[in-house]
Homo-oligomer: A and B are copies of this chain.
Amino acid sequence: MPLQYDLLFSENAMSFKKSAIRELLKLTAKPEIISFAGGLPHHDTFPIPHLKEIVADLLHREGKKILQYSTTEGDQSLKEELCKWLAKDGVSVKPDQMLIVSASQQALDLVARIFLNPEDTCIVGLPTYLGFLQSASAVRGKMVGIPLDDDGIRTDQVKDQITRLIKEGKKPKFIYVIPDFQNPAGVTLSLERRKHLLKIAEEFDIIIIEDSPYRKLRYSGEPIPTIFQLDQGRGYVVTLYTFSKIFLPGFRLGWIIGPKHVIEKMILAKQGMDLCTSLFTQAIAREYIKADRLDGRIEKNIELYSKKRKKMLEALEKYMPKIEGLKWTKPDGGLFLWVSLPPSMNSDRMFYEAIKENVAYVIGSAFHCDGEGQNTMRLNFSYPSEDEIETGIQRLAKVIEKEKEKTDKGLNNVVPQSP
């Protein structure tokens, strides 16, 4: 009899689910499909000529060093450059409060591993980032969802939920938020609510995990201080950054800042996870920042993505059917916006219809820890071209219109067949 691997797997491993999203995304790979499903930065933003120069020079000058192992905490000189760069955003932090990570999914994994036992709770948004749901589920943590509105997570409800959880003996370990241009909803947490979150953290002695991949990609409105900054070094906030959206994803580089005690624990965890992040890609990033090119690069990204955002908002306005309850967010930055259909409609089911019409999105339920959100969807505007946005939204509008008719006629009460 062949080996029964399932008898050998850990309980955590047996709880891993085959990601529905992953399976759905496979359907969006056909070239005729206009996909709003991805979360990719556009490759036109990659500074290829500068990278060529930097790599040639680095291999020449430091090849023997940068092709070796790095320390677990990361390259000291990269950390110093990042501290200077963060200071321009009002964030005051020292290299020993920073850990270089293999991009922000590793940061999320670190958060889940150092804080969550099986059944431990944490607070997240409804919706929230899929990648965090995966990391937390992998250690069998329990997420408690709090709705968002246009000002971000409903902090009044955060407080109520924590009080309730404490009564049930399930005090949460942390609050996970993406304050700027949240993925997937595109909304930004107001200054008042950032301050409120900090008060809550202090009152209940818990940590805030501030995930900040998109912060520098602001197309309108004024920047709001990070929660880390508002905390003024009191140690209630850990902030996660990544190069994936402002520089490029292929290097797998990000960084975490936080209280030294937490960073040290994360360094110990990372030692057993991947020993160190590539020094080769760390050195390239360091030289790129040193040459003062990063801010210019971000400017160019903003220019490109803000046009696409505008295009998508215009197309939605122009093509979407006038249906009661159909609405979408108008993000001030980032890569995504969020569409809500009337509660009677089901975007999970509609996905297959959309694929037939050669347009794709991510089903909103994938971003919900409570299995809800079936009437929502995430649209990405950074990757498709402006023409694709125009055509794709036209197609999507048609799909929604048809689906609404079917729903109204009660034709959608049959279980959908996957194609």
> Which residues of A does B touch, CB under 8 Å?
2-5, 7-13, 16-19, 22, 40, 43-44, 46, 48, 51-52, 55-56, 59-60, 63-70, 102-103, 105-106, 108-109, 112-117, 120, 131, 134-135, 137-139, 173-174, 205-207, 234-236, 244, 248-252, 259, 261-262, 265, 268-269, 271-281
Do A55 and B59 form a contact, CB below 8 Å, given A40-B68, A113-B12? Answer: yes
Contacts of A22 in B (CB 8 A): 271
Smallest distance from the beta carbon of A233 to chain B beta carbons, Å?
A: 11
Contacts of A276 in B (CB 8 A): 252
Interface contact A265-B16, CB-CB below 8 Å: yes
In the complex formed, the residue of B with least CB distance to A132 is: B272
Bound form: Cα–Cα A205–B6 in Å: 11
Interface contact A10-B116, CB-CB below 8 Å: yes
Closest 5 CB pairs of A and B: A43-B64, A67-B250, A134-B272, A105-B275, A48-B63
Interface contact B105-A102, CB-CB below 8 Å: no
Contacts of A277 in B (CB 8 A): 252
Interface contact B46-A13, CB-CB below 8 Å: no
Do A268 and B19 form a contact, CB below 8 Å, given A67-B43, A248-B67? Answer: yes
Contacts of A11 in B (CB 8 A): 117
Smallest distance from the beta carbon of A315 to chain B beta carbons, Å?
A: 25
Bound form: Cα–Cα A174–B13 in Å: 15
Interface contact B236-A250, CB-CB below 8 Å: no
Contacts of A112 in B (CB 8 A): 272
Smallest distance from the beta carbon of A35 to chain B beta carbons, Å?
A: 14
Do A205 and B114 form a contact, CB below 8 Å, given A8-B174, A55-B55, A250-B70? Answer: no
Please, could you name 29 A-B residue pairs with CB atoms under 8 Å apart, sorted by A?
A2-B235, A3-B205, A3-B236, A5-B207, A5-B262, A8-B173, A9-B114, A10-B116, A10-B120, A11-B117, A13-B115, A13-B268, A19-B268, A19-B271, A22-B271, A43-B64, A46-B63, A48-B59, A51-B67, A52-B56, A102-B102, A103-B274, A103-B275, A105-B271, A105-B272, A105-B274, A131-B275, A251-B280, A252-B274
Contact of A52 among B5, B46, B59 (CB under 8 A): B59
Bound form: Cα–Cα A55–B284 in Å: 12
Contacts of A43 in B (CB 8 A): 63-65, 67-68
Contact of A252 among B12, B63, B278 (CB under 8 A): B278
Residue of A103, A251, A276, A278 ringed by the most chain B CB atoms within 10 A: A278
Bound form: Cα–Cα A107–B112 in Å: 19
Smallest distance from the beta carbon of A5 to chain B beta carbons, Å?
A: 5
Smallest distance from the beta carbon of A6 to chain B beta carbons, Å?
A: 8
Interface contact A278-B281, CB-CB below 8 Å: yes
Contacts of A16 in B (CB 8 A): 265, 268-269, 272
Bound form: Cα–Cα A51–B269 in Å: 32
Bound form: Cα–Cα A131–B278 in Å: 17
Do A278 and B250 form a contact, CB below 8 Å, given A68-B40, A109-B272, A207-B8? Answer: yes
Interface contact B115-A10, CB-CB below 8 Å: yes
Bound form: Cα–Cα A66–B46 in Å: 10
Contacts of A117 in B (CB 8 A): 10-12
Contacts of A51 in B (CB 8 A): 59, 63, 67
Interface contact B259-A3, CB-CB below 8 Å: yes
Do A250 and B8 form a contact, CB below 8 Å, given A64-B48, A271-B134? Answer: no
Smallest distance from the beta carbon of A244 to chain B beta carbons, Å?
A: 8
Interface contact A68-B235, CB-CB below 8 Å: no
Do A114 and B10 form a contact, CB below 8 Å, given A43-B68, A69-B40? Answer: yes
Contact of A268 among B18, B44, B59, B173 (CB under 8 A): B18
Do A234 and B8 form a contact, CB below 8 Å, given A13-B114, A67-B43, A249-B69? Answer: no
Contacts of A5 in B (CB 8 A): 207, 235, 259, 261-262, 265
Contacts of A106 in B (CB 8 A): 273-274
